[in-house]
Structure 1
Amino acid sequence: MDEKPKPGSLKTKSFEFVLEKFFDEFITVWYRERIVGATVYDKARREIDILKDKNTKLTKKKGEKTGDDASTGRRLPSAGSSRSQSDPKPGKRKGPPADVNAANRLTSEGSRNVESRLEHDVQLQNKELVQKVNHLKQKVHEIRADAHYELKEKDGQIEKLKKYLENLREQNNDLSKRLSKLAGDKLRQGNPDLADLSDRYRPTEIGKMFSEVYDNEWSDAYENISKMDEDKKVGILHGIVTKAFNFCDKKFNEQTMTVRTTLLGLEQESAEDNRPDNESQGPQVGNKTERFTNIQNILKDVRKELAMETAGNVAQQFTPTLGQYVSGFGIKPNEIDKTLRIYAAKCVELCWLMAVCDPPMALSEDKIGNPYDTNIYKPYTRSMKDLKNPVLELAIWPALRLHLGGSLVAKGVAQPGEGKSKK
């Protein structure tokens, strides 16, 4: 039995076109996979149709000639047979006449000549088809190679353009952020009334957190201070928050002096001498002052960025100060309650956030005996209805201002009392 031809082997039977076989097993697949285009596919299809028409016509002519030769051959013996039947003596049969034998020989030779010519034509045709197939194969390979090369080249260009576009976007975003930040910083510099809404620790937010400390940590610490009357308890807690504020302000100034000395080689001076407008020292010191101003602006940004991390470190440094302070009220360092330590640490953290603001925030002075201002304080436990001349009798929780002498951010808490009547 004949083996079934494998796809792409181009094993054809005698009546099959090589080109048509190639088209079915190669070009059709390549076109479906978009390796070759519609033009190549269409040209190959039309070429096959033309060749099939030629082959059909050639086969038809061959069949007509073969049929004519066969009819002539059949008629000649038939004439001899009729003459043999008319012979009155059937026992003695004569051989075919000489002209019949000659006709048969001519017919046989003619058939062989036609078959030979047809075979020669088919061989030529097959040769031409093979050449065309090879040509198409070469063309397909060229198209495939060119398409693959162009596709690969385009992919490389697309990747380069994507990276270039991404870099441009990053640069644009970076420049936009820097420009926006510079414009915002320049606008807000020295202007506390303009807040950076992207800053988690802007003054208004610090004011909210400061009030929450009084509502939560202050209350917990107050409940756990024992063996003292109310005035002493609230006095200790008020003293801790003011001590924490002064401690952070001192640390802030020390840090600024250290930067000034380390980076610029200038001697440590007072906080007033650090101001950029102090230009009484001549050009050299003026240049250093200008450089210091630039460094100070950078330091402000760094302090803001690392405010909470730094606040935790400052709170740890405040621990000895807390021990010394409460010892004056008869509380030993090892007897300090956990809630009191948490309260003190929270006060230091918020006071450090106040210190790194530009300008720094400020607490109210809370002087005993000053007129009681309800715009600044909320009453503690006593009502003011019966007070004719209310004064600040006991400071409970300081008020918070945007800066020294600035607008109020959060009210304080104080106990009102009756002041001396004016005569």
Structure 2
Amino acid sequence: MDDYVTRMRIEYDKKCKDYIQQNEQLETQKRIQDIKFVDLREELQTANDEKNKALNRLSQIAGARLTQGNPNIADLSDQNRPTKLAEKYSELYDNEWTDTYEELEANGLNEIEAIGKLLAILKESFYFCHKTASHYWQNMQQAVTDPFHGKQTDMSQDSEVQFQQQGASFQSQSQNNQSHSQHHHSLAQGDQSQFQSNKTDQSKSQHDQCWEEADQPKSKQTLRQLPDLPIEYSKQLHDIRKTMAVDLTQVVQEEFIRQLKKNDPAVAGMEKGIFFIKKCVELCWLMGIQDPPLCLVFECPAGSRFNKDLFRAYTKGGKHVDYPVWPAMLLKENGSVLAKGVAQGCA
């Protein structure tokens, strides 16, 4: 009886141990599966995030490709979009142009001279602002893509430091040699002088060589291959340039007037003319920072056929042009007409 009970206890303990081991194995497998599930869920979340980023980037690129360089798609929230600039352009001719024309006539200019002067001011404003806007855009692109801003690293300072170290080392060596020579009188005085002269020449040679290397022009510099600006970043830069252009208008106006007064001192005495000049520069500057920039058609030579698609008559019509008065505004070069120009016609 006791043997039977003992045997049963042993079997029971064995089954309990087996059951415990099975439970531990099941728990271990469950933990492993939970870990795998968490890892899989994180991978899926990461993949989903990357997918969303890729879709957003594709959407930005598609939007940038659709709008950048396409003047036919206008931002209606932009107060300086092409259609608004065309309205200001017409107002400039109707208001400030007329006031300045009367001022010039009062100062003794005849009709053709006054019209020619006003047209020349607008033309100079247009080319000045478009050139400035182009340089401004190039500088913005270079600032983003080139951390060195077109300059090579200058190692001349390192050469100078190296020379100073070599000079200090030579001076220490020379002092040691002089101390050593005082204990050896076998050297003749002439040999001693020659020795010091050679050392001085050597120092001078090292000095000249070091500074010649530092001052050599870097004529064989290798050009860096800069990365292309992604189109979505280019669109952002264009938007920044348009936003900043409004705040920079006064700076551009002052620089243009400064240069104009230098070439034509009579401008300083034009009270209404200065206001006309400022309006011309402001308008041309906002035209130049558009993408693509708006265009003015100044080509209207006397004697050419009167193009009614681009110009309207000043005081007289006709089949031919007598003289141009006001240029036409185009949406872009060779683009559609935003505002017609004005020209005097003749038979």
Deviation string for 1:187-237 (max 9, x for gaps)?
Answer: 211211111112111111110110000000101111111211110100010
Q: Deviations over 1:136-158 (max 9, x none)?
A: xxxxxxxxxxxxxxxxxxxxxxx
Structure-2 change in CA distance of 1:325 and 1:415 (3 Å):
farther
Q: 2:323 matched to which residue of 1? A: 394
- Partner secondary structure for residue 338 of structure 2: strand
Paired with 1:237 and 1:181, the residues of 2 have a C-alpha distance of: 44
Structure 2 counterpart SS, 1:393: strand
Q: Per-residue displacement from partner, 1:319-374 (whole Å, max 9, x unpaired)?
A: 123324544xxxx244222x100001001111111111111110003331332111
Q: 2:343: which partner in 1?
A: 414
Tell me which residue corresponds to 1:363: 296
The 1-side partners of 2:310 and 2:240 are apart by 33
CA offset at residue 291 of structure 1? Answer: 3.1
Q: Which residue of 1 aligns with 2:177?
A: none
Larger radius of gyration: 1
Contact map agreement 2:249 2:282 (CA 8 A) in 1: yes
Deviation at 1:311, TM superposition (A): 1.8
Deviations 1:32-79 (A, max 9, x none): xxxxxxxxxxxxxxxxxxxxxxxxxxxxxxxxxxxxxxxxxxxxxxxx
Alignment of 1:13-412 (within 5 A): 184-225=63-104, 226-263=107-144, 264=146, 265=148, 267=150, 285=225, 288-291=226-229, 296-327=234-265, 332-337=266-271, 339-369=272-302, 370-384=304-318, 390-412=319-341
TM-score by length of 2: 0.57
**How far off is 1:318 after superposition?**
0.9
Q: Gapped runs of 5+ residues in structure 1?
A: 1-177, 269-282, 385-389, 419-423
Contact map agreement 2:68 2:235 (CA 8 A) in 1 = no
CA distance in 1, matches of 2:317, 2:333: 29
- Does structure 2 retain, via aligned residues, the 8 Å contact 1:402–1:408? yes
Matches of 1:417 and 1:267, distance apart in 2: 54
Quick one: distance in 2 between partners of 1:292 and 1:255? 18
Greater relative contact order (Cα < 8 A, sep 6+): 2
Name the CA shift for 1:415/1:185 in 2 (closer, same or farther; >3 Å): same
Displacement after TM superposition at 1:383 (Å): 3.0
Cα pair 2:322 2:346 within 8 Å, conserved: yes
Query: Matches of 1:314 and 1:179 in 2, distance apart?
Result: 37
How far 1:253 sits from its partner (Å)? 1.9
> In structure 1, what is the Cα distance between the partners aligned to 2:133 and 2:274?
22
8 Å contact from structure 1 (residues 307, 353) kept in 2: yes
Instruction: Report the Cα distance in structure 2 between the residues aligned to 1:346 and 1:292, rounded to whole angstroms.
Output: 35
State the Cα deviation string for residues 259-316 of structure 1 (Å, max 9, x = none).
3444414649xxxxxxxxxxxxxx972xx24137665433211121233222222111
Do 2:267 and 2:274's aligned partners in 1 also have CA atoms closer than 8 Å?
no
Distance (whole Å) between structure 2 residues aligned to residue 181 and residue 227 of structure 1: 58
The SS at the match of 2:73 is coil
Greater shift, 369-378 or 255-264, is seen at: 255-264
Equivalent pair of 1:402/1:409 in contact (CA under 8 Å): yes
- Equivalent residues of 2:312, 2:341 under 8 A apart: yes
Native 8 Å contact 2:141 2:229 kept in 1: no
One-letter amino acid of the structure 2 residue matched with residue 394 of structure 1? Y
Distance across 1 between alignment mates of 2:294 and 2:72: 12
**Which amino acid is the alignment partner of residue 237 of structure 1?**
L
Q: CA shift at 1:411, angstroms?
A: 0.5
Q: Measure, in 2, the Cα distance between the counterparts of 1:209 and 1:181.
A: 32
Post-superposition CA distance 1:96-149 (Å, at most 9, x none): xxxxxxxxxxxxxxxxxxxxxxxxxxxxxxxxxxxxxxxxxxxxxxxxxxxxxx
Q: What root-mean-square deviation, in Å, do the aligned CA atoms of Structure 1 and Structure 2 show?
A: 2.9
Runs of 5+ consecutive residues of structure 2 not aligned to the other structure: 1-56, 152-222
| Partner Cα separation in structure 2 for residue 314 and residue 181 of structure 1 | 32
Kindly provide the amino acid, as one letter, of the partner of residue 403 in structure 1: K
Measure the CA separation in 2 of the matches of 1:301 and 1:357.
Answer: 9
2:312 is matched by which residue type in structure 1?
A: K
Distance 1:408 1:239 in 2: 21
Query: Counterpart in 2 of 1:6?
Result: none
- In structure 2, the CA distance between the partners of 1:227 and 1:289, relative to structure 1 (3 Å rule), is farther
User: In the alignment, which residue of structure 2 is the partner of 1:90?
Assistant: none
